Structure 1
Amino acid sequence: MRIKQLEYLEAVIETGSINEAAKRLYLTQPSLSSAIKDLEKEMGITILQRSNAGVRLTADGREFMNYAKQILDQVHLLDDRFKKQQPLHQSFAVSAQHYAFVVNAFVELLKKINAPTYKFTLRETETENIFNDLRTFKSELGVLYINN
């Protein structure tokens, strides 16, 4: 089983047609059909029920695609992270007691900063938990302690 075969199968299911999926994938219909038949043979199941009206998943095919979708989601995450070299999100966390001015200041900060590489967190809690947060995040930059 190859990841390409799973991607091909996903395209066939999305379009409901081997012909349409082949056009979308810039493949010939026989090549795409053959790749899916090879996958079915390797797995020992019939994944697609073929007819003149198109294709649909068999019961085994639905179960197979549930697992395949998880694999494809992970592959896409890897591609997004490493092939596209997207930066990791930096964290900016505020741990404070419950005061309206803290929430207002935090919201104003979010409005002014257009930083898609940041993950913002506001935690309203008791003083003891604020100290625990400080111990937990002391090695990370951007942790703010507010207490009056």
Structure 2
Amino acid sequence: MNLTHLRYLLEVERTGSITKAAQNLYMGQPNLSKAIKELESEIGITVFKRTSRGVEPTRKGAEFLSYAHTIISQVDELESLYKPRPDNAVELCVSVPRASYVSTAFAAFAGRFVNEPHVDLRYKETSSMGAVNDVASGESDFAIVRFQTIYERYFVHLLREQELDYEPLWEFKMMLLMSETHPLAHYDDVPYHMLSGFTEIVHGDFQVPSLSFSQINKDASFSSPSKRLYIYDRGSQFELLRQVRGSYLWVSPMPDEVVQRNGLVLRHCALADLSNKDVIAYPRKRPIGEHGRALIDRIRREIDSIHG
């Protein structure tokens, strides 16, 4: 049995005619009939029976053809993944934190290639450790790794250990994201203790190592039990902030357009004095290519627009 014969059978099934199938396959009808008989002899069943309208699968033939469809589909998918790409193909895979400034930049970047014939862009939001692993294993072309500056030495050592180079992207302080109807939305600078009793939305796979504000700022602990809602899909966070009254989320600074479109507000917090860094990590022996650099330039422009 070979894949070519399976493709012959599927074409006969599709057309319902050996004559039409032979024409579509650019082969003579006798040769196609011979190939079908040889395959039927090999597998020990009759795949097609003749009718007044042409041919149709037998009961066992229909079962065999369903498996043949699966096999051919998987082979085609495998070939498409690993066959040589044309020189003008647009290919890029990145691993990044859950950050709106990055996703906004990526959307603008991807929009440039809508008319290109070969595009394979992969955008993965993950934790800092996941991002490091992705780029170290070759799954991603580059990664944006986020960490608190107090852990910079740890992450620099980790990147060097994985034979990765890095370059700074920006340094920032986290902000509070909440609904414009949130009881604390009227504050420009929200007192940390006033968050007590409200629900914090947390990404469940945040970077490691990491400490909460209450662990780092000894005077910032809440007197009442904390409320947390853990999520693993960034797409749901805006809806939750709108629907769960009093909920909030710690985020990196965001584009105004994204905040306003979702009916949200960004607020400072006096105790959010820990600096965070996003750095670009990539393999030491494989510099970032043309498309990767174009995306990074677009991300930097997004950061500049946030800074105003």
Do Structure 1 and Structure 2 share a fold, with TM-score over 0.5?
yes
Please identify, of 62-71 and 114-123, the stretch whose mean Cα deviation from structure 2 is larger.
114-123
How big is the shift at 1:145?
Answer: 3.1
Structure 2: give runs of 5+ residues left out of the alignment: 148-171, 173-308
RMSD: 2.9
Comparing both chains, which one has the higher relative contact order based on Cα–Cα distances under 8 Å and sequence gaps of 6 or more?
2
**Alignment match, 2:249:** none
1:102 aligns with 2:99: no
In structure 2, C-alpha distance between the alignment counterparts of 1:94 and 1:4, rounded to whole Å: 39
In structure 2, C-alpha distance between the alignment counterparts of 1:78 and 1:130, rounded to whole Å: 29
Q: Which has the greater radius of gyration?
A: 2
**Alignment match, 2:142:** 142
| Aligned positions of 1:1-148 closer than 5 A | 1-77=1-77, 79-80=79-80, 85-86=84-85, 90-98=91-99, 100-112=100-112, 116-123=118-125, 130-139=127-136, 140=138, 141-145=141-145, 148=172
How big is the shift at 1:90?
Answer: 4.7
3-state DSSP of counterpart to 1:111:
helix
How big is the shift at 1:89?
Answer: 8.0
Distance verdict in 2 for CA 1:142–1:113, change over 3 Å: farther
How many equivalent residue pairs?
A: 141
In structure 2, C-alpha distance between the alignment counterparts of 1:138 and 1:59, rounded to whole Å: 50
Query: Identical aligned pairs, as a percentage?
Result: 31
Q: Which has the higher helix share?
A: 1
In structure 2, C-alpha distance between the alignment counterparts of 1:62 and 1:130, rounded to whole Å: 47
**Alignment match, 2:151:** none
How big is the shift at 1:32?
Answer: 1.1
- Report if the CA contact (8 A) 1:106-1:122 is conserved: no
3-state DSSP of counterpart to 1:143:
strand
Q: How does the TM-score come out when normalised to structure 2? A: 0.40
Q: How does the TM-score come out when normalised to structure 1? A: 0.75
3-state DSSP of counterpart to 1:6:
helix
